[in-house]
Structures are given as structure tokens and as C-alpha cells.
Amino acid sequence: MDENNSPLMSEPDLKQSDYYINRELSLIEFNRRVLAQAEDETVPLLERLRYLAISSSNLDEFFEVRVSGLKQKIELGSTQTGPDNMSANETLREAGLRAQALVAEQYRVLGEVLLPQCEQEKIRFIRRSEWSDAQATWLRNYFKSEIQPMLSPMGLDPAHPFPRIVNKGLNFIISLTGKDAFGRNSRLAVLQAPRSLPRLIQLPAEETGSGPSDFVFLSSIIHAHADSIFYGMDVNGFYQFRVTRNSELFVDEEEIVDLKLAIQGELATRHFGDVVRLEVAHNCPVELVEYLKGQFRIDSGDVYQVDGPVNLSRIQDLYDMIPRPELKFPLFTPGIPKQVASKSDIFEAIDKQDILLHHPFESFLPVIDFVRQASEDPKVLAIRQTLYRTGPDSAVVGALVKAAQSGKEVTVVIELMARFDEEANVVLATRLQEAGVHVVYGVVGYKTHAKMILVVRRDGKKINYYTHLGTGNYHPRTSRIYTDYGLFTADKVIGADVHLVFNQLTSLGKIPKLNKILHSPFTLHKAMLEKIEREIANARADKKSARIILKMNSLTDPSLIQALYRASMAGVKVDLIVRGMCRLRPGIVGVSENIRVLSVIGRFLEHARIFYFENGGDPEVYGASADWMERNMFSRVEVCFPLELKSIRNRVIKDLNSYLQESCQAWELQNDGSYRRLSEPNGCKFSAQGVLLAQLAG
């Protein structure tokens, strides 16, 4: 037999399950990397506490969305599997084991690492057993005046059934003995701590003789005064617990008349979805844990017994309560590009050449100025913008309101179904509508995730388009902590393309083929596949002319992963900078040996989506709002835009190469799905974020 026809030389089946990593397990691995920042002694102490809180908050969302989704699949009897061929049952079981280990590690880091180091810095969390007489007196008065009036203890009996427990709230299960006010034996009670109460109370130094940064947990104060809550009865046990519920909103978009009203109706029920996790104090007796399990209809695998506060995410409050700049990242002033810093007219600056912003190293203010000047400029006829996540009181929204009130044509596409921002977006939509803005809620069944602003301006007899396209949201707060790119351009072709996309979103009509913009769910997926295939062809002709660098938050789409495998097999060098979930498995012999996957976890949350294709020596670089996930490619409205100005393109390529040299905060994905940190924290030599701060910040 000719060796070229041997079965050993046949093409591998790129759909086989062991070529793919499970997405839920990959997400847990991401949270491990976040938690590792809390242990990194090169990171300032208060920032490490924040990383711990972020890892806890991320895990909350994992249960609210991912775990609840798996449980629903199981309940519905779904046998569908992903490309990794793991069933919902298998995924839930393995995710539960890893989540339990991650939670145990979170509390170990808190108790064994961070709290002792806080103590060294005279930041103390005072236990009940350690209160001085002066502290106990002040806390008793504080309890009586600030806490007790807010509490509604619930004794349990046939007339007082187990109460509805709000999602992620602080609660206590209490065991009692003795007679109640009506002469009956007492057994159990539940106490819910209102969300309005702070979880950390700072002791006043002048009144208690405490240090300047002495704190007491709310749970400790309530526990210490349990006898006064249940006066006349004996409190035998007092244990914290918290539940996490399914928090997805279920809106049948095809059956409703008004999406905003439907969402408003659903928001009230979000806090009371099915329970998917119970966190309870580690010393809670078995019989009480079993009782709670029965009330919430959960299994033993859903119970997390923890040695510490049941909501670690609230530790983040500490950051703003302690004015210790030496324990935080150094402050910096975001830079402003000279093109806009030297000109008061931003439209004149954009006319001269495209302008690229790289947040948070560069300021978000030019974006605000862009909308503000458009609202005031008599030459501006119309403003169109998409909003996915922002605040109703943001400066961008204020400028849009002003523009509408001054008689300009203002159209805003608001994605009401932006997860966990639905309520804020309903408020935002109402405010804009009341100001006379034309507001639409995107497209039924397709989230509008694109980040676009289009300003239509008359200059003499000409109508000009000025466009801003971004990789991240129009949210001033996240622009300070997320790395994103934003492009200003007066390119007529891009402006016309964006104009058509807006028309499609408002009219729902078909539009002609776009010239420069790629957009989902229509052309983006196909275009990315075609560009990968072009690199494959170039590699077969000359391997030196083929290269792909992709930077994104998540990579899960099977067909795009298969295309990257084919590229690797053809000899294309593929570098992936994927912050979070990644289903692609590197290091498969004969399949993905030319693929390297890095995850960078640093001071700022890596959020930019940038796609580089070598294109035979004529590189193409795109920015995008979309990750390479099925939902972004087929169930969302996304835009992907070319960076055509050579100086901008080269700058972004330089940034990508910096991330590929990262040694301080880089983790490399291994063949088994785990991640290996590239250097010990004290031994790192190169930080991409550090370089960008030095180059771009003011």
C-alpha cells in the first residue's frame, strides 16, 4: 500500500470530543486565575482583597446562570451534549467538585493569608470574643439604634411557614428552647438581614479606643445580640446561611406586546428563582443543614459549608472605607491623544485622520465630548447610538437627552436584556423616551451587543458621517477598569455601513451588503472562516506569510475552533489571547501544536476583541464587539470593523505583541485544560499593562 494512502496519514476527525474543553469547567479555571491574584504578594493588599471579592462575585454569577442552566436541562430530560460530549449531569457533577474546591481555597486565602496580612497593616476584623468593654458598649447601642429596628425575626410554626429567602441575602437559622410569649415550646426561627444594612461596620476610634481601621461584621453584631431579638427564649444555635437562585429572566419575546413592560414584570421574580446553591456556616449542625436542604429542595452537592462570612463579595466594600493609597494600585491620569487634546472641535480632529483610544490607559472623555459636541453643534442633524450597559446618569446619556431636547433627531437602541443590567436599562429607556429620544429595544431574539455611535452632520451642501466604534460598553465606570479600544473615523464607507446597520435595527428591513463592516448574525462568522482559510492557503504556499493573532474574552464556537485546528495543521502560527472560557485544546499532536493560548489577568480586566490576519504580508486588523462564541455569531447583533490607518494598525499589532511577551500576569493553557503561570510573581520581567500605562497615561 502506498504510504500516502495509509490510514495513519488520514485527516483527523476535528469534531471528536477529546479535542474540546468543557466551557463550564473552563470558566471555573478562569476564576482560579482571578483568585490567584489575591495570593500574589506583588499586588497591593487592598487590591488582593478585591480580587478575592471578584472571584466570589464571579462564582455567584456562575451559579445563577451556568449551574441553573444545567439543572434546567437535567429537569427537562435533555440529552444534548456540547462538542466535549459531556452531558449536563456529568458537567454539573464535575463543576460541583471544582466549585467546592475553589470555595475552600477562597476561604483558605482569606483566613490564612489575607486576614493575617491585614492584621500586620493594622486592618482588623474584631471577633465577638475580642471586643473590649468600650467596643461592646458602642456596638450594643449601634445594634439598638441602627440594626434592631430593621429586623423581622420569624419564629417557625404552622402559622409561620418558612419565609421566602431572597437571592444572595444574609440570613440566619436559629435553634431555640424555652417557651414563647404564648406558652408554647420554641424550636426554630429564621432571621433575614435587610440588604440596606452594611455588612462591615467601622468602629469609631474616638468612642471605642479602636484602631483607625477596626471593623466588625454585621453578622457578628446580630449574633452577639441574639438574646435580645428572641427575648425570654434560649438561643442554642445561630448560624449564617445564604442561597443562590436561578437569576435568568424568562421572557417569551414572541408572545409579548411591550418588551419593557414584560421585563419590569419579570424583575420582581428574579430574586426568587429556584435555589441552586446553599452556603451555610461550617459549624451548623447536620440536622439544621438537612432542614434547610429540605426547604430549598436541593441535594448535598449543592451545599457549601464555609468558615467565614457567607458573602465574600461584600468584602469589596472595604476598599473605599480605608484611605490607604500605599495599599492600592498607584493612581494614574488617563492620557488624551494629542489629536483631540490640541483641538476644541472634535469633528475637525476626526476629519484630519482616524483616532484610536485605548481605555483605561487613555481617557473616555473624548467619547463623552464627541456626543456632547454633537448635541450642541448646529450642523449636527442626527445622533444614533447603541447602549448595552451604561448608567442612566452617565454623561453620555445626559448629552443624548440634551440633543433631543434641542430638536436633533436622536435614536438610541437599548438592549433591555443585558444580563443583570435589565433594571438599569429600563430606567434608562424611560428617561430617554421622556426627553423625546426615539428608543427601540433591538431585535426580538437577537441581543444588540454592537457598540456604535453615528453622528450625521451637514457641512455646507455635504452630509458627513462621524462614527465611533468600540470593543466595549459606553459606561464611564467600566472604561476605567476594562481594557477596550474605540475608533473615531470620518470614513464615508464605514459611516454608510453603520447607517445601514442602524436602519436595520430600527426598521427591521433587509439591507444591502456592507462594504467594510462585518456584522452578526449575517456576515461575521463566514468572514472569519474565510480569513482563516486564506491563512491556510498562504501557509501552504509559504509558511512565513501566514499568522493569526486573536484577542478576545471567550472562544467556544466549534466551527471556528475547527478552522483554527486546520490552520495549525497547515503550519499557520496561531496565538490566542483569551481571557476567560476557551474550548480549544492546544498541544494535540498533529492538530494544535502550532496554537498557543494565553490568558492575561492583571490590574485591568482584559476586554478588547482584536483579530489579526497576516494576509501574505499585508496585515488585516479588526476590532469587534463580538467574542468567538456561538451566541455572538448567531444570536446577537455585533459589529466588526477594520483598523485601516497604517499607524493605528501598527500600534495595535505592537500591543498584541506586547501581550504575547507578557510574563507578569500571563497564564498558558495546557493540554489537560489547566493553566500554568508563566513566571513566579516576584520573577516576572514584562507587563503589557504596565508598558501601556507608561506609554499612554498622562
Task: List residues with catalytic annotation.
Answer: 449
Apex CA 551: angle with CA 16 and CA 654, to 5°? 140
| CB of 248 closer than 8 Å to CB of 69 | yes
Give the DSSP per-residue string, 141-161: HHIIIIIGGG---EE-BTTBP
Q: How many CB atoms lie within 10 A of CB 661?
A: 12
| Strand-by-strand arrangement of the 188-193 sheet | 154-155, 188-193, 170-177, 234-245, 275-281, 303-306
Q: Is the dihedral of CA 324, 325, 326, 329 positive or negative?
A: positive
Cell of 225: 445580640
Q: In terms of Cα–Cα distance, which of 618, 451, 590 is closest to 531?
A: 618
β-bridge pairing 573-578 and 547-552 = parallel
Written as one letter, the residue type at 109 is: V
CB 477 within 8 A of CB 458: no
Residue 595's DSSP bridge partners are 574
CB 260 within 8 A of CB 416: yes
List % helix, strand, coil for the chain (3-state, nearest 5): 45, 20, 35
Residue 52 contacts residue 106 (beta carbons within 8 Å): yes
Rounded CA separation 246/255 (Å):
22
The alpha carbon dihedral of 472, 478, 483, 485 has a sign of positive
- 554 three-class SS: coil
Count the helices and strands in the chain (H runs, E runs).
Answer: 23, 27
Please name which of 219, 208, 225 lies closest in space to residue 140, comparing C-alpha atoms.
Answer: 225
Cβ 62 vs Cβ 28: under 8 Å? yes
Task: Give the H or E element holding residue 628.
Answer: none
C-alpha cell at 650: 501598527
Question: Looking at residue 659, what DSSP letter applies?
Answer: H
For residues 227 and 231, what is the distance between their CA atoms, to the nearest angstrom? 6
Is residue 281 within a helix (H) or strand (E), and if so which, with residue range?
A: strand 275-281
